[in-house]
Amino acid sequence: MSRRTWGVIGGVDKGGIIVRETPGEESSVVAERLSFGAIVQELDVQGDRVHYKLLNGTGPAEGWVSTRLQSGKDLLVRTEGIWRVVGGAEKGGIVVRDGPLTSSPMLPARLSFDAWVRQLELQGDRLRFERLT
């Protein structure tokens, strides 16, 4: 059975997201947090909690995490259709254009290194996206 993978997009300002030993809210919190940007493999899902195995990043090798805060803010996203910016760090991010052509006008703000985006459309090597982080 193929297991889904998830990316951690929450906890950037807190050193990662809280990991618990079991799915219940009353469960013990693990001392180490799961880092922003980590990729995990889903082992089980119960409600809005995912039992995971760490594939990439830092944090506990296994545990339970919430997919979103009570406010509705996502902490984890399924990685299907999710892209992470891995270039442009030395230039303050990558260029974003106002259309699908490389000749389209550049937007004033760059997409920062390590940002996460959701794919809306892919035309050749041009991505239309929604920013997640």
Asked whether the beta carbons of 116 and 83 are under 8 A apart, the reply is yes
Share of the chain above pLDDT 90, in %: 86
Which one, of 36, 60, 53, 29, lies nearest residue 113 by Cα? 36
pTM value is 0.77
CA dist., res. 102 & res. 126, Å (int): 9
Amino acid 133: pLDDT:
86
Q: Give tens-digit pLDDT for 19-61.
A: 999 998 889 999 999 999 999 999 999 999 999 999 999 999 9
Rounded-to-integer distance, Cα 109 and Cα 128, Å: 15
Distance (Å, rounded) from C-alpha 94 to C-alpha 57?
Answer: 23
pLDDT of residue 9: 94
Nearest to 77 by CA among 2, 1, 133: 133
